[in-house]
Amino acid sequence: MYKLSYDLHIHSCLSPCANNEATPRSIALLADLVGLDVVALTDHNSCKNIPAFFNAVKKTSLIPIAGLEVNTAEEIHTLCLFPELEAALQFDKDVVCPALMQIQNREDKNGNQFIMDEEDNITATEPLWLGPATSIPFYAIAEKVKPYGGIIIPAHINRESWGLISVLGDVPDDCGFNCAELRGNADEDELCAKYSYLNQCNIIRNSDAHHLENISLPVNFIEVEEKSAKGVIEALSKTN
């Protein structure tokens, strides 16, 4: 077994609410500098900065994971992580893009949505606003991710907005997830006592960084059988 430090919820400058300095290259270099082992780039409703991130990671010792944070139809933020870059990009193309609301982004109101290369060059700007809910229901997203080899992780489930508990009022046991993310210093034991399904879930904590300085230090760890994105996905998928 290998013990790896992780941060599996980081936003780049493609996310409209993220800082422009959070480029894929900067995220990769800083995460490596602070000593993380595994990092996932999870922009809102898009994987378009993942290729640049994966190319930038080649100059580091990081294990990269391709992902995105889907805003479901109910407005539940849900991390979708994949063992392969190509699978994430195909899921984005096949499932997420058709489910986006056709609202043009207003940079003056919502922020920029920069698509980058691995050298910090802006190659394009995403025209559709990536912030709103998609048409993908939470109850269906696990089945949509499954053919691409991915997993879902309800994000910051204890958050007052965009969290599973605040939206549904409960933690359902029939939605196809075996891992959940807690926000901040939430009491895991207290939440597990209140929502019984969490007792069989892997509980993780990430930075949800929208600025470079918020990327996690190596304080959270996961044990894996294989030092790879696939190994991390498999470890997160196991029930307790």
pLDDT tens digits along 172-224: 999 999 999 999 888 999 999 999 999 999 999 999 999 999 999 999 999 99
Instruction: Provide the percentage of residues in the chain whose pLDDT is more than 70.
Output: 100
CATH of domain 2-237: 3.20.20.140
Residue bearing tokens 């600025």:
211
Asked whether 21 and 4 are in contact (CB, 8 A), the reply is no
**CB within 8 A of 169, min separation 6: which ones?**
none
CB atoms within 10 A of CB 212: 18
What's at 209, amino acid-wise? Answer: A
Domain range annotation of the chain: 2-237
DSSP string, 174-210: SSS-SEEEE-TT--HHHHHHHSGGGGGSEEEE---BS
Please give the average per-residue pLDDT across 98-125, as a whole number: 97
